Structure 1
Amino acid sequence: MGSNGRTTLTGSQGTPQRGRTGIVSGYVFRVIREQLHHTQESLAEAFGVSTDTVAGWESGRRPLTSLAVGQTLTHRHRLMRMSVTPALLLALDKALEADVLFASVLAEEEPTCPSPLGAWVMQRDLVEVLAWPLNGVTPEPMRGLDVPARARRGPAPTVPELTADDRRRFFRRMRRTAEEARGRNFLLRRQALYLAGYDNAPDTPAWLSQEQRAERPGDWLTQWLTARSVAAVAARHGDRDRMEHFIATTLDDDDAGESANLNYWAYWIGESPHPQLSDDFIATAGTPTWHGHKLLQHLVAGLAPDRGLFDLNTHTLWALLAARPGLLRTSAAGRALRDRLPLLLDSAESSTRTRRELEGIRYAIRLAEA
């Protein structure tokens, strides 16, 4: 709690809670209620339900995911009439989806149905919400929101919280899912490997490297995506050398690799509105259907030398501007990039390759402004 009596959504505090199946959607619902300046009692009256029901939704004891579809839509329409921001409604939708995925992983019994993690290629707006209880990083639509201060009966968490047992169970099952999917379901394996990478256990980088070595020989795209996933996770854990190796050996001077990287990023940040059921679209040759404005904005916002993916972000931005130089003339992100470049070039964190690519980006900006 800050000195001004307000709590931002970027910290982590609170007491451990028992395992629940609606922790993410319940937390987002609480944030929405407080943004509307409602108490549990007043919102219950507006929704025509009991106060205990609202409390159960927020705590996860009565998960929102257990409601009938029609009832969920009715409540959503009520929130829309209350003028909840679209970003929060989107976050609630993704939180419901994340809770379904958590429930499938954390079920006490072994699952009898195929894991939903292998059903479609996930995008950032879902993965950020899914990772929220794992890494404590607030999803983009909710960053900067202030929760109005209210008297509470006890400490309230500032992120959705998994119990220690549930965290261990989640990561243990992600590892087992990735191992069992080897050679059978590559999409499921890749996405399980990625989520397993949020585990801060000391052996996580070594386990991921072992899984990469154990990957059965496959086509080019399979090997490319495995190398990218392992390099991204290693970078998150502070090993930037593996990402530097990936860029040097898999992207530089490889048109197919550069195209795949741009296609992957564009889909990841939502340039493509349609979900993909396999990774094959990443290797699609020819003119992509995405425009690049949203990707440019995302990459510029993520240019922070202290972040593990800084080298990949810079290289991807350099490749994007080489392929779409017109973006600099039609996007406000180009102006923000121009203003930030001097600081980025002065950073001691930048590798020789990254510094060279930043110089190339500065030259592209000069050409666009000429």
Structure 2
Amino acid sequence: MGNDGRTTLTRSQGSPRRSRTSMVSGYVFRVIREQLDHTQDSLAEAFGVSADTVAGWESGRRPLTSLAVGQMLTHRHRLMRMGVTPALLHALDKALEADVLLAGALSDDEPTGHSPLGAWVMQRDLVEVLAWPLNGVAPESMRGLDSPARARRGPAPVRPELPAEDRRRFFHRMRRTAEEARGGDFLVRRQALYLAGYDDAPDTPAWLTHEQRAEGRGDWLTEWLTARSVATVAARRGDRDRMQHFITTTLDGDDAGEAANLNYWAYWIGESPHLQPTDDFIATTGTPTWHGHKLLHHLVAGLAPDRGFFDLNTHTLWALLAARPGLLRTAPAGRALRDRLPVLLDGTEPSTRARRELEGIRYAIRLAEA
């Protein structure tokens, strides 16, 4: 144990690192093969490779991330012609990216100061895939798939599996990255803190609280993002009070905070067309470049009272419709929202704030339908 009570990872000198650096993309590739109703032998024949090569891709023994870019694109185009859905192809792309990030975090040769976490602001489609082997929650693109037509031979994993040693190493690396970035690269620190929040170790909440206090005062955007990150991690762990405090102190009645919240959400779920290298876009004022249809759909789908994000989803939805009431007339999600509101208001017990905002949304729907 370290001086702070946390486990310090050690490894005997000369012991090789054995992490499967293509576990997520290999698993997604296997799912794609099964959705096409191919065996490893038949897919190998279609691809012009050996069955052992396909088996190696799926197990991670022959990492897909090691293929040349042109070769991977050729395989991707072949999958498109075979009828793989765009959502699964997108999941494969993000799985390859997640494997590169995981390999970097697990590598003993990658200095924390060179972390790719500071290269761009990550979005939901990547983070969900990256977190999959950490929390066991399948990304949206991998849910609701048909069961394989062919019975699997023997036991098979139901998701990408990160060995326990690698899991501990990953979270240890995220903590160290966040600590070393304190007072330096804020984007690296913020995203490392966010990923460290997936750790179910007992000391994680206390460590995150300590890191928030250690941040010190910064500019408005830094403090806003720090508060949001801590509230998000707390909500993910079931602490709804921290999220309600965030809404009350940084959003409600604060035009800059409300605009930042909408900008962040829109980027997070992919409304914005371009990746951002810094967080500065979040504080952009004026007319945003995103439309809101995708964000409306996402927020409506996430209105589940038993989730820790329910209050933030409700408030963000209320703020979105206040800023863009026309969405209720043009977006299909408006009808789903109208049908769900009676259940949320009469069949659940939302907080006082959430109930007030849901009533405001119902009134906005009535105005849009008048």
Fold shared, TM-score > 0.5 on shorter chain: yes
Distance 1:129 1:152 in 2: 23
Q: Which runs of 5+ in 2 are unaligned?
A: 1-17
Retained in 2: the 8 A contact 1:321–1:327? yes
- Give 1:154 shift: 2.4
- Give 1:148 shift: 1.1
Aligned pair count? 353
2:300 counterpart SS class: helix
- Give 1:342 shift: 1.0
Q: Which amino acid aligns with 1:291?
A: H
Matches within 5 A, 1:204-215: 204-215=204-215
For normalisation by structure 2, the TM-score amounts to 0.93
Matches within 5 A, 1:45-56: 45-56=45-56
What's 1:284 paired with? 284
Distance 1:151 1:348 in 2: 42
Matches within 5 A, 1:49-64: 49-64=49-64
Is the counterpart of residue 323 in structure 1 residue 323 in structure 2? yes
What's 1:218 paired with? 218
Q: 1:165 to 1:180 in 2, by over 3 A?
A: same
Distance 1:112 1:351 in 2: 42
What's 2:231 paired with? 231
For normalisation by structure 1, the TM-score amounts to 0.93
Is the counterpart of residue 293 in structure 1 residue 273 in structure 2? no
Retained in 2: the 8 A contact 1:306–1:349? no
Retained in 1: the 8 A contact 2:113–2:177? no
Q: Which amino acid aligns with 2:344?
A: L
Q: 1:112 to 1:144 in 2, by over 3 A?
A: closer
Is the counterpart of residue 120 in structure 1 residue 120 in structure 2? yes
Distance 2:113 2:194 in 1: 21
The C-alpha deviation readout for 1:289-314, integer Å capped at 9, x for no partner, is 10100000000000000111000000
Is the counterpart of residue 241 in structure 1 residue 241 in structure 2? yes
Is the counterpart of residue 65 in structure 1 residue 61 in structure 2? no
- Give 1:146 shift: 2.0
Distance 1:171 1:346 in 2: 42
Stretch of structure 1 that moved more, 234-243 or 347-356: 347-356
Matches within 5 A, 1:333-352: 333-352=333-352
Q: Which runs of 4+ in 1 moved over 6 A?
A: none
The C-alpha deviation readout for 1:99-124, integer Å capped at 9, x for no partner, is 00000001133437611111000011
The C-alpha deviation readout for 1:114-149, integer Å capped at 9, x for no partner, is 111110000111111111111111111121002314
- Give 1:348 shift: 4.1
Distance 1:109 1:291 in 2: 43
Distance 2:167 2:273 in 1: 32
Distance 2:110 2:342 in 1: 54
Distance 1:356 1:158 in 2: 41
Matches within 5 A, 1:355-366: 355-366=355-366
Is the counterpart of residue 255 in structure 1 residue 255 in structure 2? yes
- Give 1:202 shift: 1.6
1:289 counterpart SS class: coil
1:329 counterpart SS class: helix
The C-alpha deviation readout for 1:234-286, integer Å capped at 9, x for no partner, is 01101000000000000001000000000000000011110000000000111
Distance 1:259 1:24 in 2: 35
Seq. identity, %: 85
What's 1:97 paired with? 97
What's 1:107 paired with? 107
Is the counterpart of residue 75 in structure 1 residue 72 in structure 2? no
Q: Which runs of 5+ in 1 are unaligned?
A: 1-17
Distance 1:112 1:366 in 2: 53
Stretch of structure 1 that moved more, 143-152 or 69-78: 143-152
Retained in 1: the 8 A contact 2:37–2:149? no
Q: Which amino acid aligns with 2:234?
A: A
What's 1:6 paired with? none
Retained in 2: the 8 A contact 1:231–1:246? yes
What's 1:369 paired with? 369
2:307 counterpart SS class: coil
Distance 1:181 1:138 in 2: 30
Over the residues paired in the alignment, what is the CA RMSD in angstroms?
A: 1.2
Retained in 1: the 8 A contact 2:132–2:138? yes
Distance 1:147 1:339 in 2: 31
Distance 2:345 2:251 in 1: 22
